[in-house]
Structure 1
Amino acid sequence: MARASSTCRTIWVVLLCVMVFQQREEGGGVGMAAEETRLWRVGDSAGWSFGVMGWPNYKPFEAGDVLLFHYKPGTHNVVQVSSVQYALCQVSCNVTVWISGDDRVPLARGMSFFVSSIPGDCERGMKIAVTAR
């Protein structure tokens, strides 16, 4: 009887291994890590600051990556805007404004535009345009 039980366990282990490897081949969930997302600190060590416009250049952003806007609370903020608002440094009334100084914003596929809406900040270069694939 013990031998039959041992054989059954062996068969179950083999079947489980086959299922796991099949899922991996198909890109399925069992045993697979979720796609990695990156946390990008905007402006690197300088943080969300004046002249940060060139920071996104040549960075391989992916949809789902997260931008970390780090700044001293009360001095700046972060607002996602349209391309026209970005170009003109204008912000509409009904927008989300991040103000914590440690703001994490996930990226959607395509272009995203961010500015600080504190008077004078955007005009002094506190704005970025990011393209995520």
Structure 2
Amino acid sequence: MAQQQGRGSAMAAMVLLSLVVLHFELAQAATYTVGGRDGWTFNAAAWLKGKKFKAGDKLVFKYSPSFHNVVKVSRGGYNSCSTPKGSKFFKSGKDMIKLVKGRNYFICSIVGHCQAGMKIAITAV
């Protein structure tokens, strides 16, 4: 019986430790407004300079949905300014997107906007 209690205590301790680690990781996530006070606009890549991103950080894209959008694309979509099948579209004007580990690519799919610099590529560690 004492051995079963020991196992139960160890299991409870592991669950508690997992929750503490998860809480710590979530508390460490940062939130960034893409483009700063100018929001999601042309020449957005300049805003990236000097910033380091982690998986779990959140990007907030603020823009007028009448004129812009945000599309999470693949590397190929980023390089060609196109929206391959499976691309995720955001259109609210105040989109919050969580970064995943590795490269994250975003463009505006309105004709000519990506080509004019409305795109960013972010590496999250």
Of 107, 121, 125, which residue of structure 2 is paired with 1:129? 121
Alpha-carbon distance in 1 for matches of 2:59, 2:51: 12
Count of matched residue pairs: 110
The match for 1:99 is 91
Alpha-carbon distance in 1 for matches of 2:40, 2:108: 9
Alpha carbon RMSD of aligned pairs, Å? Answer: 2.3
Moved over 4 A (4+): none
Q: 1:67 aligns to what SS in structure 2?
A: strand
- Give per-residue Cα distances to partners, 1:82-117, cap 9 Å, x unaligned: 112111111124322100000000000011100000
Letter in 2 for 1:64: G
**Sequence identity (%):** 39
1:115 and 2:107 matched: yes
In structure 1, the gaps of 5 or more residues are 1-22
Deviation at 1:33, TM superposition (A): 4.6
Q: How does 1:2-81 map onto structure 2 within 5 Å?
A: 29=19, 33-35=23-25, 36=27, 37-81=29-73
Max Rg structure: 1
In structure 2, the gaps of 5 or more residues are 1-12
Which TM-score applies when normalising by structure 1?
0.74
